[in-house]
Structure 1
Amino acid sequence: MAPASARLIDRGGLVAALDRAAARKVTVISAPAGSGKTCLLRAWADRPGQTSRLALVQVQRDERDAQQFWLAVLDAIGPGTAAAGRVEPQAATPDFNARAMVDRVLSELADAQDITLVIEDLHELNSPEALAQLTRLLTDLPLQAHAILTMRHDVRLRLHQLRLAGDLAEIRAADLRFSGRETRDLLAASGITLSAAGAALLHQRTEGWAAGLRLAALSLAGRPDPERFVAEFSGSDRTVSEYLIAEMLERQPPDVQDLLLRTSLLDRVNGALADLLTDGSGSERILLELEDASAFVVSLDPERTWFRYHHLFADLLRLELRRRLAEEVPALHRRAAGWFTAHGRVVDAIKHTQAAGDWPDAARLLADQSFSLTLDGEAQTMQALVQNFPKNAEHPELALVRAMGDLSQGRLDQAASELAFAEAHVQATSSDRRRRLLVAVASLRLSLARRRGELAGAIEQAGFLASPLTEQPDGDVALGNDLRAVALMNLGTAEAWTLGLSDAPDAERHLREGATLAREIGRPYLEVGCLAQLGFASLVLHSFATTQRRCREAIALAERYGWGAEPIIAPALIMLAANLIWTGEFDEGEQWLERTRQALETDTGPDITLLLHQTAGLLHAGRNRHQEALEEFTAAEYMGSQLADSRALATRTTRWLLATQARLGMVDEAHALLAALDDESAGSGEILNALAVIRLAESEPAGALTAVADVLNGTAAVFGDVTVIEAHLLAGLAHRELGDQRAANQATERALDLAESDRLILPFAITGSRELLEALPGHATAHAALAADILDSLHGSLPPAKRGSSLPPTGELSPGELKVLRYLPTNLTRPEIADELSVSQNTVSTHVRSIYAKLQVGDRSAAVRRARELRLLSARRTR
């Protein structure tokens, strides 16, 4: 097989574009060196069916002689015209008349049949007189004549009249760039085998630049590891650098070369920054001219104030900078760092301080800005900056930054170690920095205490942040606001995690205050964090509908800022998943569960991971996959053991773990786990329910009834109505096993009554209550629609809720309104509904008016349709 070479490929779409453009009077092809202008012309000239005769003029480098240029034009169009009898080319004369020469060219073009004048490298024509006459020629071209001009940058031709008349076509660098598919075609034509990812990376690095791709193809020939070559391919590659130096850099004037080299150490540059690095002025004008010239300079904003260099060109410039001005590079980085610091661009400032090798200064700057970077949602950027420090860097302030990173990724033990190291060195710092460091340490300790479940410690640290010791002078008002907002978020979160009714109002208040303050001070990342935790805190005080709405609002805000898959939003993601699972939306709940997993890929902390395993276990249990549920609950149990104070969450996990063991026949294991619990946990309603499941698994229904008795009579502490619903269902199963169907029906009806307001389905699925529901007499239940939905779900046929349908913020229906709503699909009149519910007709009418208002409908049939969309009514006929 012949060696690979960079072959031409069919770019039919581009050739067709030039064919359409060539139908205009004048076509301009303007693009940098190596963009494929000549290859395009060649392909167009050689295309099948080409009828136009081409008159080709190649402008010589730095052509300043107008007479020589026009003689070349005349010679090119001579064959096939009235001047065809000439044998010798036209000679120069001392009395050259440019206007007369143009008239002669126009005359010969008029005599030609379908001719296209092609002038290549017009940017080399440096004769103002020749350019002025060329403008006249192009404007006055005969009807049957056309012109195609190629150039590396725009030439000052006054072609505005042609543009306005629609007689001018333009093909630019962007049009000539290779697409991803064309890049793959070029590699294949050159005999190079490269993976799809490798080809995509090569296309990205070259930005579709034709010469760069062909040079890469040539360099790839015979390489034993082409994937590695592509990964390392840059403008410093010998073949590329030689081309760029010859065709791009050395063609620039000395002052432009100096600007390009000195500013190449920047990812982006503007005029002021370029002036600073070159000790000059007028840099913005040069950058604008370079962009206009398509000289591998790209503007980044509509106002054309910021610029960057083509990736390969930037690589070459940095290589040349190290070769020519190596001793000046650190000072250039320091200048850039100072400019970025003064203009509030702290990440760039830190990067350039690091590049200058000023590691202590970089550590202080990063420590000072790490809090703001974290609150701006740039925790990952901050950790990337940490990685740039030497491995043996032991700056105490850097330990604070590392602690922040460890906290954000759930590495709590490492965070504690870094914090201890930093705190031990605080007293050795200057007094002006000591206060700031103490505040930073306190803030991090607050976050650590909260994430470890040390609720008392979190509250103590929150109090410290509000103490006089941490009051900020006037210059640090922003820091004080940031700290207060963080303290409110962590305090509210710690209170919410107690899952207690007494703490829930405080948790909600603190999180709302934190979100409001974050919004006022322009900290959307912190606002998202507060709102995400507010969704979790809603679980204790509010309905499932309220919790779900709050979670979706937090997620929507996070997605607006691009944080929809980051750990900050995980509490809202997991609570939304859990809400959907509790209401029987297993498939959608599983989707949100997967999104939570993705958001937690970089966070292994036990707190939120515990919720993830709990919720996954509930999903499996609801689908009757008890072995998978057991694995998830076991993992959640372990995560709970890593938290200092997680009694409420741990009790819930243990309750489901015990019940799952019993349902799998692991009764001995369940008894062993039960025996290990302390008296307070063993007496909770959740554990009593689990004991009832164990008794049912042991075929002891009477023992199951005894176990749930304290739950049903209200003497056992419970976590919300869910526990009571489950207790009624377990009692119903026990009564049924004892042969008391009437008592079983009554227990099932009580469970339905409690589940009605939130439309809960999961308790019925987990307890295996299908037969209880099927045994209910249809005429004897006030919850036929809910029972139908639950049975649909247990049979795997529950229709999904209509996406996008949700109650307005004030549209939650009260329990009384829900009861009336159940009768609206029937033929019963309002008086008859009142009789069924044993309430007055006025009460029914009041509820109906409220239902219409909350569902935003105007009549009974519309209310029924809307309620079915919202899954407030069964979609099938009730029994």
Structure 2
Amino acid sequence: MINPIIATKLYIPALRSNVVLRPRLIERLNEGLHRKLTVIAASAGFGKTTLASGWIRSCGRTACWLSLDEGDDDPVAFMIYLHAALMAAAPNFSDGMRKLLQAPQPPPIEALVRVLLNEIASITHPFIIVFDDFHEIENKSIHQAVTLLIEHLPPQMHLVIVARELQHLPLARLRVRDQLTEVRAADLRFTISEATEFFEQVMGLSLTTEHVAMLEDRTEGWIAGMQLAGLSMQGHADAGSFIRSFTGSHSFVLDYLVEEVLQKQPAGIQAFLLSTSMLDRFCGPLCDAVLRLGNGEKETNPGANSEANPEANGQTTLEYLERANLFIVPLDNERRWYRYHHLFGNFLRQRLAQKQQVNLSVEAAGEGVNELHQRASKWYEQHGFVLEAFHHAAAAQDIEGAAKLLEGEGMSLIFRGMVIPALKWLNSLPERELGARPSLLVLHASAMLMTGQISGVEQKLLAAEQLLQADAFQDVNTRDLIGHTASIRATLAVSKHQPDMILAQSRRALDYLHPDNHPVRTATTWTLGYAHQLQGDYGAAGRAYAEALANSERIGHVIISFMAAIGLASIQEAENLLDTAAGTYRHALKLAGEPPLPAAGVAYLGLARIYYQRNDLNAAEQYAKIALPLSQQLEHTDRAVEVEVFLARLLLAKGDVSGAAARLAKADHTARQHQHVLQMPSIAAVQVQVLLRQGNSAAAARLAAKNELAISGAKCELAQGNSAAALAILELRREYVEAKGQPYDRLEVSVAQAVAWHEHGDRAKAAAMLTEALVFAEPGGYVRVFADEGLPIRKLLREIVARGAGSSYRDQVLAACEAEEQIGKQSQEGNLGQEGKDRTKPRPIQASEPLIEPLTGRELEVLQLIEQGLSNRQISERLFLALSSVKGHNRNIFDKLQVKRRTEAVARARELGLF
């Protein structure tokens, strides 16, 4: 569930009918449309927003707008509003990312941006998007995400950033590439002619050129200063005298003029301005609620002059303020929602806080600041704006109210994309307040976990448990909190791949959690399934996934449904139920939307494996190639490596041994670089196959032993003529998988045993073992598990079919094995050198050894520069390395690639696909 968005944040600000046109700046902005980025940056009050809104209304392109504030300084909230803003550019814009944002723990913002970039590609017409008040964003991850967006910006999209300052975007690099248009304070300052037009058309003042020049000089072209000066001069008969006495810095000018403006307003208007200043944006009914207008509890006279009706409500007062030009900005065309000019609003809030600090009654507002915030919080809560309600409750120091809103009704705010605001508030609480509330401690731990602050989570949980242990009665709320702490610990154990800990904490969580706490219970059930799957208990894992799937679909949690469906399909696949698994994977893909969520790559890879086993290699390749870019969007996971390993296996099935080796080299390098240790055995298993195809059984055996690969080790023993040793290994492996109840693993062992008995000379046992495997495999339609084994399986199948024990399924398997024989011959010929084409076995390729010891990241950099023709000295200058270090890297590269010179290194690297 996502908190309702505020639609007015997406509206292009309306222009006044008498706005000063600035053709010199409009022309500059139009000229920059061919670049990626336009930046309009200057201090407050320079007319940045007015210029941007005026330009995009006249430039002829589709445009969308996003007004940012402090509440958007959260990655998920920022992406929610960015996605909503883009809907203005394309009404049929895909909604695939929304499902990601609904997850209990959405993906990193960089992954979300990559999804968004793919969705933007569907927009065919050119358009502009404006980020207004971008200086409100301080979160480094958002800055990095926007940098990523700029770097990969589609050509049809132009980004405009309006801000007071920009310190975290790569502007220097964009300048060098001529991808940046900048409008700064010096450009925004009013010229004499623009200032003259402003005073005449906007402020209704007839000033001499001399007076305008004096004001332009005193304010340095600062538009807000001129507006404030114009408002003050409206009550002066001698404009010249006022201008001559007008001096000071921007800060002094602001203080002086706002005092002049505010003090000249009726008491009721002053009360209204001060009391509503703590609202970021407001409408008439909200102002009524804050001031308690219209219900008889309070009488507030909004003004005593002819334009301010004493009986006016919030809406009519807002309309009066707009007509009076009192720094109020309409946010929609219907004039329902407004905000104060930032400087004016800041000033009003400072005055309100000053009165509160000195313990004076707030003369104008008549209320304490906290009470005003509480009323605003109540109104927002009643109208479904939970985040705004929480914000004002926190500002009111209403810990109970803020805690209640944070906990939510059935789902906490931290599960609705509001982790950062919640965490900021929790971090701000005094230790005595936080430490006295176990529910807040648990939520604090949960928020820290979701933002990756793992180190402090256990401390919060222990503090909460100490308080909960003191509750002798352990009511339902206490038990639910205990369950939540266990669920958090289970998630911590998931990150460390500790199945025993995950299992224990998940069970404890489900025992204690309240039956109605569906979000946490559903997530914990899924975690329970993950633990069972890590342990190889497929039955228990399947039941847990099925339960999580049913519960999540019932409560409408699409992401959890999607994850549970993928988990369930993987169990069905492991149990040889390929038709059922394919159906479940396809169901998951329906939940993934269009374009699909990045995690859909897991489902596509599952379908690829199924089609591979049924020997439809083209379909398998198509699904895998869809899976790869999706999986690459999943930051900090090993999913992309898993796809690369599958593609290497597919290349091997097609006879492309060198291509498979190259793909494995890259997968191995990535896995080591990012410490994806769980993928190392699967990489090693396919590397063993490659080495055996290359005739290097010794290296294959070492690799199998190093990674404790039983079946791979048995194949290596067979390759070295040790059939008895192979049979012993496989018998132990069979006992293990039968005890674990792992059907596919048992099938794989049976096929390997058939080959081993054949090589051992016992053809009867080999035929019996193969017949058993065929019976076991036929319901699932497996083919590749046999075809990948080569000549011994072909011979045994021919004998079985010749004895009349054939079937359409066995004929299909035999046909695939016969085709595999042809592929094997072609591969063998490709591995023979010019001097060895008369040999019957492929020669060993010594350069395959580096697959076990890949190049480091720095060595790859050096190798790429060698490929570009740079000398050692040029490489040292380019990489800021000592010349001796470059030479040392060269030696390592040559050793790993087993070459002696640069040209050979480049050729070998190309063969391995390292460039």
When the two structures are superposed, what TM-score results if normalisation uses the length of structure 2? 0.47
Query: Whose relative contact order is higher, 1 or 2, with alpha carbons under 8 Å and at least 6 apart?
Result: 2
When the two structures are superposed, what TM-score results if normalisation uses the length of structure 1? 0.49
